Amino acid sequence: MSEQSQPSRRAALARMGLWLNGVFGALLSVPLVAYLLSPLRRRSGAGGRQWVDLGPSSQFPEGETRLAAFRNPFVRPWDGQTAEIPCWVRHIERETFQVFAVNCAHLGCPVRWFAASGLFLCPCHGGVYYADGSRASGPPERGLFQYDYKVDNGRLVILAGQLPTLSTSASLRRRKPCEG
Amino acid sequence: MRRLRALAAWIEFRLKIGGDVRQAALHPIPASSASWWYVFGSAALTVFALQLVTGVLLALVYVPSAADAWNSLQALNHDITLGWFLRALHGWGSNFMLAIVLIHMVQVFLFGAYKYPRELTWIAGVFLLLMTLGMAFTGQVLRFDQDAYWGLGIGASITGRLPVVGGALVHLLLGGPIIAGDTLSRFFALHVFVIPALLVGLVGLHLLMVLRLGISEWPMPGRIVRRETYLREYEELTHEGPPFFPDAMWKDLVFAACVLAAVALCAAVFGPFGPSGQPDPTIIQTTPRPDYFFLWLYALLSLLPPQLETPVLLIAPPIAILLLLALPLVAGEGERSWRRRPVAVLMVLVLAVALGSLTRMAGVAPWSPEMYAWSGAPVPEADLKGRSPLERRGALVLQGKQCRSCHALGGLGGMRGPALDSVATRLTTGELIRQVLQGGGNMPAYGKNLSPAETAALVAFLQTLHPEGHAAAEDAASPQ
């Protein structure tokens, strides 16, 4: 083995060491990234939602809109109060309801129902919605987000589980133009 | 004393750092740089150190769990000795840090100190500003109260406006489908591990470049920065210059001490920030407001036309950041003095006035309805005196239908719509009826929620609302 070839052999070994680190680093990054992206994984149920019981439908008087709350179907034991999600239930007649997310379609602040004027008002930027959830005025570009519902054995059940935003609302029902 | 010196010598023999420290402290600087205008960078570093210390101390007690965070803040405020003061120091320290970082940036911009060869120092500074803002937002989330909860909702809503990837990003931001335990945990990790580590590293880089390239000299009008000549000119300036310590550093030290004293004074006098109500989403009787430094954004989102919001939210921030990053690369040479850079001065002024006015407006928030005005803001007595029963009935309708949420009378009530004190001089009877029933111009239509009798009473009352001596508006085409 000549004098000159020794350093180049070590250099080759060093290069191999770098490559090995690179390869194992890349392999290791797969589980790390998968772990980081785990919130994207679809939970069981339809599109990250589950049917949630809001209680007997008789507790929502016909012609009135009332605040209800449910525990989010996907929770951690340390979620505390944050897993209690409110929603507005409008009982139109018999088995016809509308269940609205409280989150304003503008930036998600909680809208409040004013029965006397028949309007939902948002305290943040002044978004206003009519009783049927359609946009009345202010910055929102659309009506309130709605949950799918069904009446099951006299109980009102809704399909819930996600914070509604303009993107995630795909999992919430879009208001049909002719409705209300 | 002799033993101490021996110990120092023992350590120095192994560490070999004394020479570098001495060189950093005693390196000559341009005589003009020993100025009170050059103290903001070191002050920001001082407050950052205070934030690190108080932050670690708060972490001894704080529980990053959605169920318990709020309770641990209450314990800090009320049970733990001086816990309130630590929270106050950290909160006020954050405000001071952001303010000083901004002042530092404006000073560097106006003095043209970002020009050759200090371009990378500026670019690192831009990232430091972004991270400071990131710390402010994540810190506001860790104060896990109603404002934090709904602030996260606003963050998620803004993120949700991104096309295609919006929904995925919302879930990554929240760590799950809703704002809950995982959300707080990831903001805790960001606020306590990720961003501080990046900040420490970048601050080190920023400082290293300041030492390597030297403090920029006071900008003289007419002294042009040129790549070919600048280093030689700077060398000449520093050749005869005073050492950094003590000639310039005493001002840094005095100012930093004053800032620390001011933070402590604010903390002691005004106390900690919040927490406000519990982070319980079912308590919807809340009026979420962002912290001081994001008020301008809150105002902007209220005042922009709805169709412009999403583009402005999604396109403006990247453009602004790119402009800041590109600034030293585009304008790396030329005049440094603000006396010869009117556009730069104008830009700072316009930005300052815009941010200042938006912040001021957010304090008043005229776009937010007064949610309790229907019962809390009575109709002024003068508007009811001598009115007919029908008109008084109309005043009752006005209150009962919550018109006052958006309309003021006698200076009380919401400002979302116009004040009604002189509405009768602006609208005729027909116009009043039409406006009430059909709405328009940002007012909802009340047609479905008013009986004909209520409408008649309301309009009768509104017609009486005109200042004394001003006639009510009349339809010029009417036969009367």
How far is the alpha carbon of A91 from chain B, nearest alpha carbon, in Å?
17
Residues of A within 8 A of B179 (CB-CB) are 82, 163
**Among B160, B175, B369, beta carbon nearest to A167:** B160
Pair B347, B402 in one domain:
no
* pLDDT > 70? residue B480: no
| CB crowding B220-255: b at 16 or more within 10 Å, else e | eeeebbeeeebeeebeebbeebbebbebbbebbeeb
Question: What is the CATH classification number for the domain harbouring B400?
Answer: 1.10.760.10
What is the rounded CA–CA span in Å between residue B405 and residue B424? 19
In this structure, is residue B15 part of a structural domain?
Answer: no
* pLDDT > 50? residue A178: no
If one counts the domains in chain B, the total is 2
Q: Which of A40, A49, A83 is nearest to A170 (CA)?
A: A49
Question: What pLDDT does residue A47 have?
Answer: 65
pLDDT digits (tens, 9 = 90+) for A2-29: 555 567 899 999 999 999 999 999 999 9
Question: What pLDDT does residue B102 have?
Answer: 96
Residue A180 — very low, low, confident or very high, per pLDDT cuts 50/70/90? Answer: very low
Pair B124, B167 in one domain:
yes
Pair B79, B36 in one domain:
yes
Residues of A within 8 A of B304 (CB-CB) are 139
Which of B57-71, B182-196, B235-249 is predicted least confidently? B235-249
Give me chain B's average pLDDT, please.
92
pLDDT digits (tens, 9 = 90+) for B376-393: 888 988 888 889 999 999
**Among B150, B156, B284, beta carbon nearest to A86:** B284
* pLDDT > 60? residue B66: yes
State the best of B178, B312, B314, B401 to mutate against chain A, taking most chain A CBs within 10 Å.
Answer: B178
Residue B363 — very low, low, confident or very high, per pLDDT cuts 50/70/90? Answer: confident
Domain boundary among B364, B385, B413: B364
Minimum CA–CA partner of B145 in chain A: A82
SS (H, E, C) chain B: CHHHHHHHHHHHHHHCCHHHHHHHHHCECCHHHCCHHHCHHHHHHHHHHHHHHHHHHHHCCCCCCCCCHHHHHHHHHHCCCCHHHHHHHHHHHHHHHHHHHHHHHHHHHHCCCCCCCCHHHHHHHHHHHHHHHHHHHHHHHHCCCHHHHHHHHHHHHHHCCCCCCHHHHHHHHHCCCCCCHHHHHHHHHHHHHHHHHHHHHHHHHHHHHHHHHCCCCCCCCCCEECCCCHHHHHHHHHHCCCEHHHHHHHHHHHHHHHHHHHHHHHHHHHCCCCCCCCCCCCCCCCCCCCCHHHHHHHHHHHHCCHHHHHHHHHHHHHHHHHHHHHHHHHCCCEECCHHHCHHHHHHHHHHHHHHHHHHHHHHHCCCCCCCCHHHHCCCCHHHCCCCCHHHHHHHHHHHHCCHHHCCCECCECCCCCCCCCCHHHHCCHHHHHHHHHHCCCCCCCCHHHCCHHHHHHHHHHHHCCCCCCCCCCCCCCCCC
Question: What is the CATH classification number for the domain harbouring B69?
Answer: 1.20.810.10
Q: Which of B365, B410, B385 is nearest to B464 (CA)?
A: B385
In this structure, is residue B234 part of a structural domain?
Answer: yes
* pLDDT > 90? residue B272: yes
In this structure, is residue B250 part of a structural domain?
Answer: yes
Pair B307, B395 in one domain:
no
Pair B269, B207 in one domain:
yes
Pair B178, B282 in one domain:
yes
Torsion-angle region of B144 (φ positive above 0: left; ψ -120 to 50: alpha; else: beta): beta
How far is the alpha carbon of B220 from chain A, nearest alpha carbon, in Å?
48
Say if the Cβ atoms of A40 and B443 lie within 8 Å: no
The residue-averaged pLDDT of B330-344 equals 93
* pLDDT > 90? residue A74: no
In this structure, is residue B9 part of a structural domain?
Answer: no
Tokens found for residue B226: 């040129």
Proportion of chain B above pLDDT 70, given as a percent: 100
Which of B49-53, B254-258, B293-297 is predicted least confidently? B293-297
Pair B34, B181 in one domain:
yes
Pair B86, B231 in one domain:
yes
In this structure, is residue B17 part of a structural domain?
Answer: no
Pair B264, B201 in one domain:
yes
Say if the Cβ atoms of A85 and B154 lie within 8 Å: no
Say if the Cβ atoms of B167 and A170 lie within 8 Å: yes
Question: What pLDDT does residue A175 have?
Answer: 45
**Among B67, B371, B401, beta carbon nearest to A79:** B67
What number is the ipTM of this complex?
Answer: 0.87
What is the rounded CA–CA span in Å between residue B127 and residue B105? 12
Pair B312, B380 in one domain:
no
Return the SS3 of A41. Answer: coil
The values of phi and psi at residue B351, to 5°, are -65, -45
Where is pLDDT greater, at B374 or B123?
B123
Give Rg (Cα) of chain B: 30
The residue-averaged pLDDT of B94-114 equals 96
* pLDDT > 50? residue B131: yes
How far is the alpha carbon of B289 from chain A, nearest alpha carbon, in Å?
8
Minimum CA–CA partner of B144 in chain A: A82
pLDDT digits (tens, 9 = 90+) for B202-213: 999 999 999 999
What is the rounded CA–CA span in Å between residue B175 and residue A13? 43
Beta-carbon pairs below 8 A across chains A and B: 201
In this structure, is residue B272 part of a structural domain?
Answer: yes
Where is pLDDT greater, at A130 or B303?
A130
State the best of B282, B361, B370, B436 to mutate against chain A, taking most chain A CBs within 10 Å.
Answer: B282
Residues of A within 8 A of B67 (CB-CB) are 78-82
State the residue range of the domain holding B383.
373-463
How far is the alpha carbon of A20 from chain B, nearest alpha carbon, in Å?
27
Say if the Cβ atoms of A130 and B171 lie within 8 Å: no
Proportion of chain B above pLDDT 90, given as a percent: 71
Residue B87 — very low, low, confident or very high, per pLDDT cuts 50/70/90? Answer: very high
Minimum CA–CA partner of B440 in chain A: A137
pLDDT digits (tens, 9 = 90+) for A133-155: 999 988 888 999 999 999 999 99
Say if the Cβ atoms of B281 and A84 lie within 8 Å: yes
Question: What pLDDT does residue B442 have?
Answer: 85
What is the rounded CA–CA span in Å between residue B421 and residue A57? 45
Domain boundary among B325, B346, B364: B364
Question: What pLDDT does residue B199 have?
Answer: 97
* pLDDT > 90? residue B301: no
Question: What pLDDT does residue B335 have?
Answer: 93
Question: What pLDDT does residue B41 have?
Answer: 95
Return the SS3 of A51. Answer: strand
How far is the alpha carbon of A130 from chain B, nearest alpha carbon, in Å?
8
State the best of A167, A169, A171 to mutate against chain B, taking most chain B CBs within 10 Å.
Answer: A167
Question: What pLDDT does residue A174 have?
Answer: 47
In this structure, is residue B14 part of a structural domain?
Answer: no
Pair B133, B40 in one domain:
yes
The residue-averaged pLDDT of A70-93 equals 93
* pLDDT > 50? residue B464: yes
In this structure, is residue B316 part of a structural domain?
Answer: yes
Say if the Cβ atoms of B167 and A82 lie within 8 Å: no
Minimum CA–CA partner of A161 in chain B: B177
Pair B301, B412 in one domain:
no
Domain boundary among B364, B381, B414: B364
* pLDDT > 80? residue B183: yes
Residues of B within 8 A of A85 (CB-CB) are 178, 281-282
Say if the Cβ atoms of B167 and A75 lie within 8 Å: no
